[in-house]
Chain A
Amino acid sequence: MRALRSHLLAWLVLLLCAAPLAAQSAEELHFCLHGEPKTFDPVLVDDEASENVRYLTGGVLIRLNRQTQALEPALATSWELSKDGRAITFHLRKGLYFSDGTPFTAEDVAFTMRRLLDPQTHSPTGDAFRSGEGSASVEAPTADRAVITFPAPVAGLERLFDQVAILSAHSPKKEMAVLGAYYVSDYKPGAYLVLRRNPNYWKRDSTGRPLPYIEVIRLDIQRNREIELMRFRRGELDLINRLDAEQFDHLRRENPAVTRNAGTGLDAEEFWFNQSPAAPLPDIKKEWFRTTEFRRAVSLAINREDLCRIVFLGYAKPAFGPVSPSNQFWFNPALPAPKYDPQGALRLLEQAGFRFQNGVLKDRAGNPVAFTLVTNSGNAVREKMAAMIQQDLSQIGIRMTVVTLDFPSLIERMTRTLDYDACLLGLVNTDLDPNSQMTVWLSSGENHQWNPNQKSPATPWEAEIDKLMREQASSLSEKQRKAKFDRVQQIVAEQQPFIYLVNKDVLTAVSPAVVGAAPAVLNPQAFWNAETLRLKPAPESGALR
C-alpha cells in the first residue's frame, strides 16, 4: 500500500517537474535547521542556525576541511605568515564575482576584516582574533593581495579565517551578496529558508563542471527532533544533521543504510562545583567544593560506562579531559583513562576528613553531604544523566537533588547570582584550537565557570594554568603550544574543576537518495561537503523512459 502510494507520488512529482524544466534542475536538498537564524550578517553570527547558513553561503579565504581537519585554499590561492607571526598575506583568486555580479577584489577582504576587527562591531568571530593591545591594520596593496597585521602574534591564526565569510564592499545587496556555493533566495521567518545555487561560485569539480551540483537547498526551521525524524522517515527530508542516541538507535534497527555514525564528537558533557567565594552558599558547602579530594571522589564515583551504555545506548565514550580524542592534534593521550571506583572514592574522602556512616557521608563537623545539581530543562539526555549520577552518588552516601531550570534563569545563576551548588551542561567546542577557550581556562575569564572573574588566581594550580595558557598563546611553535596545553589537560584531570563525563558520538542520518555524503565530526557534520553532494534521480525515471 505504502509502496503504491510513493510510486504514485513519484509519478506525480515527475510529471509536475519534467514539464517546464529538465528533470535534474528541479532537484532540491531538503533538511532542517534547529532554530531561527538570528542574522544573515556573517560578521555577527553567533548561533548554530546562522552559522550553518553562513557555511553554505559564505565564501572564505581558507577552508578547514571537515574530514581531514587540514586547511585548504579557497578564495585565497595561497597565503604567507610573517616570521614574527603578526602579519598574514593572502594571494586571492582572480576574476571572481559575488552572487549578484559585483566583482571580488582585495578591497572586499579589507572591508570585511576592518568591519570584523572593529571593536564596535562586537563580532564573536572577530573577537577570536584579538591578541595584544592596539588595533590591527588591513591593507590591500593590489587587487589580488591583502595583508593583515596584528599588534601581537595570534596563535592558530590561519584556521580562524575558516569562519570569516567575505562581504562585498560595494554591492547594493550588502551581506546578501555572497561568494559561497549558495545564496539565500527566500526566507519566511519561523518556517523555512530557500538557498539557491550561486551561478558565480568559483569552484569546479575535477572534470571542470561548476559546483555545486544541487540546484536548491531547502531548510525548514524545525525545533522538534521527533517531528524531524518522522518527516525523514517519510522521505520528506534528505538528511538529519544531528540525531540523539535513542532516535539513531531506532532508525538503525529500522534501516541501517541511512544511519551514519561519524565517530566521537568534539563536545563533552560535564559538570562542575561552584567554587566561587562570592557565591551565596553556606561555608561548609564552599569548603567541600574547594576540596580537591572531594571533586576527585565524586568523579571516581560516577559510572561513566553506564552513562554511555544506558543514556547514550553505546554512542558515546567516557570522557576525562577537556579535549575529545577526535581532536587529533590537541588530545593528550597520556591522560589516565576514566575509571569507576566507589571504594577508591570513599578512601579519598576519608583522607580529606569525610566519614561514611550508615550509608550517609558526613564531613569533619558531622554535616551530611548533600547538594543540588542544576541543569537546563527540556534536555531529556541531561535529565537522564542527572538521574544516573544521583544514584551513583547515593552509593557513596551523597544526597544529590536535581533541579532543571529554563536557560535564562540558569545563565543568571551561573554568571550573575552564582546561587547554585553544581551545574551539569555541555559547553560547546566550536574550534579545534584551545586558544578559542582562553576565557574558560584563565582564572580572570568570565567563562571560567567554577570560579569566574578572579582578580588573582585562587589556587596554585589555577595560577599554573594561567601561565601555561598565556605562554601557549604567544608561542609560534605548534609543538611547544601542544606541550603546554598537554600540561593544562594534566592539571585539569588531577584537579577536576570540570568533571568531564562523556564525549558523544556525532550521529547523522542521510537518505539513500543523497550521493557523496561523508558526515564528519566537525560542524556542519552531515552537509559540510554540500557543494559536491548529488541527488540520485528517482528510480521511477527509468520506467518513464
Chain B
Amino acid sequence: MTVWAFRIAQRVSLLVALSLLGALLGATLVRFAPGYGMDESELDPRLSQASREAIRREHRVNSSLLSYYGAYLASAARGDFGSSAWLHQPISGLLRERFPVTLRSVVLGVISAWAAASLLALAALFYRGWLLDLAGTLASGFLIALPVAVVAIFAVYLRVPVFVAIGAVIFPKVYSYLRNLLLQANDQPHVLAARARGVSRTRLLLWHVIPLAAGPVAALFGVSISMAFGAAIPIEALCDAPGLGQLAWLAALNRDLPLIMTLTLAVTLVTVAANSAAELLHERA
C-alpha cells in the first residue's frame, strides 16, 4: 500500500513539475514569436499618440519573462490566474465557466469514438469478416480525409452537438491503432496455438487477444484524450461553443500571454494526468 502511495506521490509531483514547465515554455513561445503585443486597434486612425503608447504599454511585459512567470505562479498558487489581456476578465472565472463545456464534449467525444472504434474493430476480428473490416476502413478513411473545419460545419448543419464532431475527428485515429493492435495480438503464436486447440472465439478474444494488447491500448486511451482536446480547439471555434477550445483559439489569435499560459498549464495537466492514469491502471492490472 505504501508503495502505491509513494508511486502516486511521485506521479503527482512529476505532473505538477511538467505542467509548470509547460506553462513556462508556452509563455516563452508566445512572448518571443512575432506579433506579440500587437493590437489591431493600432490601425485606428482616430487614436492619439498618447493612446497608442498606452496600448503598447499595456501589452508590454516590463520585467523579464522569468520574473513575470514567478509573479504569475505566486498569484496562481493563491488561485488567482490574473486577468486576460484581451478579454479583460479574470481568467479563473473564464476557466470555471468554460471548462465544464469542453470537458463534457471531450469526454462524450472520446467515449463515442472509442465505442464506435472498438465495436467495429472487435466485430471485424470476431467474425473475421473482411466486409466489416472494409466498412471500418471506409468510415475511417472518409472521416480522416475531411478537414476539421468541414466536420465542424457539418455538425452545425446537422444540428448535432459538438461532441459528435470531436468523436468524428478522433474516431479514425483510434480505429486505425486499435485495429492494427488487435490484429497483431490475434497473430501471436500462443493465440494461434490456443486456436488450434479449439478454444472458443469469445474466450480467445477475452482471455488471450485483449490482454495482450492491453498495454498499448491503455496508452492509446490516454493519448486519445489529448487528441480530443486538440480537436476541440478548431471545432469549438467554428461551432462557437463557449468552451476552452474556443478560448484557446482566441487567446492564440490575440496573443493573450496570461491566458495562453494558463491554458497550456491546464492542457498539460490534463494530458499528463490522462497518460499517468492510463499507465497506473495498466500497471495495477
Contacts and interface: CB of A to CB of B under 8 A. Distances in A.
Given A189-B97, A190-B98, A411 B42 contact: yes
A446 B49 contact: yes
> Chain B CB within 10 Å — which of A46, A119, A430 has the most?
A46
Interface string A516-541: 00000000000000000000000000
Contacts of B38: 407-409, 411-412, 415-416
A447 B89 CA distance: 30
B97 A407 contact: no
Contacts of A230: 153, 156-157
Interface in B213-255: 237-243, 246-247, 250, 253-255
Interface string A125-152: 1011010000000000000000000000
A188 B242 contact: yes
A184 to B, nearest CB: 15
> Chain A CB within 10 Å — which of B40, B45, B246 has the most?
B45
Interface string A101-135: 00000000000000000010011110110100000
A190 B41 contact: no
B45 A439 contact: yes
Contacts of B43: 411, 427, 447
A523 to B, nearest CB: 14
A446 B51 CA distance: 12
A384 interface: no
Nearest to A44: B88
B238 A122 contact: no
Interface in A387-438: 406-412, 415-416, 427, 430-431, 436-438
Contacts of A220: 240
> Chain B CB within 10 Å — which of A188, A231, A415 has the most?
A415
Contacts of A174: none
Given A122-B54, A188-B242, A46 B35 contact: no
A190 B240 contact: yes
A430 B98 CA distance: 34
B114 to A, nearest CB: 28
Contacts of B87: 36, 38, 189
Contact of A191 (B45, B50, B54, B240): B240
Nearest to A411: B38
A220 B41 CA distance: 23
A287 interface: no
A222 B43 CA distance: 24
Interface string B135-158: 000000000000000000100110
Nearest to A32: B240
A205 interface: no
Contact of A409 (B34, B46, B153): B34
A127 B47 contact: yes
Nearest to B51: A122
B240 A223 contact: yes
B46 A436 contact: yes
A406 B44 CA distance: 18
A124 B41 contact: yes
B240 A224 contact: yes
Interface in B73-93: 86-89
A511 interface: no
A157 interface: no
B238 A127 contact: no
Contacts of A80: none
Interface residues of A, number: 46
Contacts of A38: 86-88
Contacts of A437: 45
B48 interface: yes
B26 to A, nearest CB: 16
A226 interface: yes
A125 B156 CA distance: 38
Contacts of A188: 242
Nearest to A46: B41
A226 B240 CA distance: 12
Interface string A215-256: 000001111101100110000000000000000000000000
Contact of B242 (A47, A191, A223, A408): A191
Nearest to A35: B250
Contact of B35 (A128, A231, A408): A408
Contacts of A130: 48
A406 B253 contact: yes
A475 interface: no
Nearest to B239: A227
A439 B40 CA distance: 16
Contacts of B42: 411, 415, 446
A39 interface: yes
Contacts of A128: 46
Nearest to A409: B35
A514 interface: no
Contacts of B35: 406-412
Interface in A188-207: 188-191
Contacts of B51: 122-124, 127
Interface of A: 36, 38-39, 46-47, 119, 122-125, 127-128, 130, 188-191, 220-224, 226-227, 230-231, 406-412, 415-416, 427, 430-431, 436-440, 445-447
Interface of B: 34-36, 38-52, 54-55, 86-89, 94, 97-98, 153, 156-157, 237-243, 246-247, 250, 253-255
18 contacts: A119-B48, A122-B47, A123-B51, A127-B46, A127-B47, A189-B87, A189-B94, A190-B242, A222-B240, A227-B239, A408-B35, A408-B36, A408-B254, A409-B34, A409-B35, A412-B38, A416-B38, A427-B45
Given A119-B48, A122-B47, 11 more contacts: A124-B46, A127-B48, A128-B46, A189-B97, A190-B98, A220-B240, A226-B153, A230-B157, A408-B253, A411-B40, A412-B34
